[in-house]
Amino acid sequence: MSSAEPVARPGPCDLRVLWDDRLISYDFGPTHPLNPVRVELTMALAREYGVLDHPNVEVTEFDPAADVLLELIHDPAYIAAVRHAGATGLPHPRHGLGTPDNPVFPGMHEASTLVTGASVAAAEAVWNGRTTHAANIAGGLHHAMRSSASGFCVYDDPAVAIAWLLENGAERVAYVDVDVHHGDGVQAAFYNDPRVLTISLHETPRTLFPGTGFPQETGSGDAKGMAVNVALPPGTGDAAWLRAFHAVVPPLLRAFRPEILLTQHGCDSHTLDPLAHLMLTVDGQRTAYAALHRLAHETAGGRWVVTGGGGYELVQVVPRAWTHLLAEAAGRPLDPAASTPEPWREFVRRRTGEIAPRQMTDAPPEHRGADTVEVHTWGSGYDPANPVDQAILATRKAVFPEHGLDPLTQE
């Protein structure tokens, strides 16, 4: 049986967007895939659409993360190495600094503390009730480890934000990561902590960095079942990806009942992304954003913290995907059939020399304006020959019993 995502969404919601122009100083150089122009173009597109001008949306500044915050996740010796590398330009290979993935750049520590400070400020604002939702689209640097940089990530801002929440009384925090790469740094930080549920949907580690994120990685000790990994085959598109999402994420969030939901929205799952092999469209991605928004209200009292993440098609994908994300978080989703504003397209041309996309959808003309991506749900039946279904079942079998859920039920 075929079904589609329900069209009903939460209405306008308070949204705090943490932003400072200095966030684009997190810059590994003009030839590096993680070019901050993607964030710059996103904010410009969101402004042109008026996403940031709604009365329920507030754009605020924040403080950089101090060492005491960073040390909730990172070793002091590593923090000192980052500071030294950024001040001197010297690599620290033992800490992963000065590699092709993580080249040293001037002010590396200061730029990285800005990204982390924004995510902590977002979590603090939601946890303390100053806003319902908060977003740091420059964040989501989910690969950094306790003592090393990894995968373009210097400090692990989602992990630091979660650690701050735990230090300030949170007892059940859920983290859902839809980046094409496994959220290994966040998983590692809380692998033994039963207060944190981490769910990552990603391309199989058999074909993609960082080589972790198999379904058998489920947590340890009292946290058995709290690390959840859905490892999807190359070529997975919208309908199959959403089938996997709905077969795993909603049942676990409903069982866990988090007090707050953090989500990482790397949009490198898109078919145009140069570094990976999934085949989602912007339409599939925005459908996932809407589903997570609903789940935040259903399972976490509406408390939702949003970060960016990966995404290396800098013009065609990232700005549209994350503008949809900000609009969704504000409870004012954009019409996917809308044309991108001409002033923004001109800004893209001047800033990058590229031709900007003309619509906010990837759908062909006859389907533009459709609000959902059709998906065959898990309830339509398990196909043992389908590699996506195999991946779904492997994850459900690995973790569902730990949450009192039946991995075989067709729900």
Angle at 294 between CA 288 and CA 297, to 5 degrees: 145
DSSP line for 77-131: HHHHHHHHHHHH---BGGGTBTSSSS---TTHHHHHHHHHHHHHHHHHHHHTTS-
Residue with tokens 């504000």: 330
Residue 242 Cα distances to 50, 279, 290, angstroms: 29, 12, 12
Structure tokens given for 278: 């999934």
Nearest residue to 111 via CA among 25, 224, 217, 28:
25
Q: Which residues lie below 8 Å from residue 346, measured CB to CB, with a gap of 6+?
A: none
Structure tokens given for 276: 């990976």
Residues with a catalytic annotation lie at 143
Structure tokens given for 202: 């990603």
